[in-house]
Every structure is written in structure tokens, then in C-alpha cells.
Amino acid sequence: MFTLHENEREYRFGDSGPKYLMKGPRSNFAIVRFNPGEDFAAHYHEIMEENFYIIEGEVDIVVDGVKHHMKQGQFIHIEPNEVHYVINNYDKPVKMISTLAPFQESDKIEVANE
């Protein structure tokens, strides 16, 4: 058991990207923030499933070539082997929760952005 406050961790890219509150041993839990225009490389996971829950703002999440316009309060579940790509095409930052399970040290295969 452990506790922490979000402020005890940092975003990967200063004020954006993932901020992992937990990495393993069975799952990952992160707060993710993308500023307008920011994205990450399209990829898939062979074993892990990924979830996103939108806390603030809106974002486009493309899964297997289908764009899902996600807004505050919405949730998306991504199965293993589904190629996904996230981009903030909007004028405000987006903040969301990301979970990945079961934990794998390395399970991200990047592909060309769709």
C-alpha cells in the first residue's frame, strides 16, 4: 500500500505528456496532459490493454483508423493489438487518466501515424 499526491510526480515533457503515479507491478496509472497541437506516436501493445478517461478538455483518439472525439467525462478502452494515436486538435489542454494492464516493462510497438 502507498499513497501520494499528483504534485509529487512530474510530466515527462515538463508541462505535458504522461505523469506516472504508478508503474507496475500489475498495472500502470498515469495522468496525461496534452497542450493544443500535441500528440504521441501511433502504437499498439501486444499484451497490455489501455484505458483513457477524459478529466478536462477534449481530444481525438484514433483507434485502428477510426477517430473518436472524446470530451470530459468520456472513457475509451483499447484492446491489445489495436493501433492508437492521440492528438489534441483543440485550443485548450486536455487532461486524462491512462491505465495499462497487465504491466509489461516493454510492450509498445510504434507504427506510422494514421
Indicate the number of domains in the chain: 1
Does 106 map to a domain? no
Assign residue 76 the CATH number of its domain: 2.60.120.10
Give the model confidence (pLDDT) of 75-87 as tens digits: 999 999 999 999 9
Query: Tens digit of pLDDT for each residue in 43-58?
Result: 999 999 999 999 999 9
Decide if 113 is inside a domain. Answer: no
Report pTM: 0.94
Domain membership of residue 114 (yes or no) is no
| CA 58 from centroid of its chain's CA atoms | 13
Residue-number span of the structural domain to which 39 is assigned:
6-19+26-45+58-100
Strand residue runs (E) in 1-114: 17-23, 28-34, 43-44, 49-56, 58-63, 66-71, 75-78, 84-87, 94-101, 109-110
Residue 109 lies in a domain: no
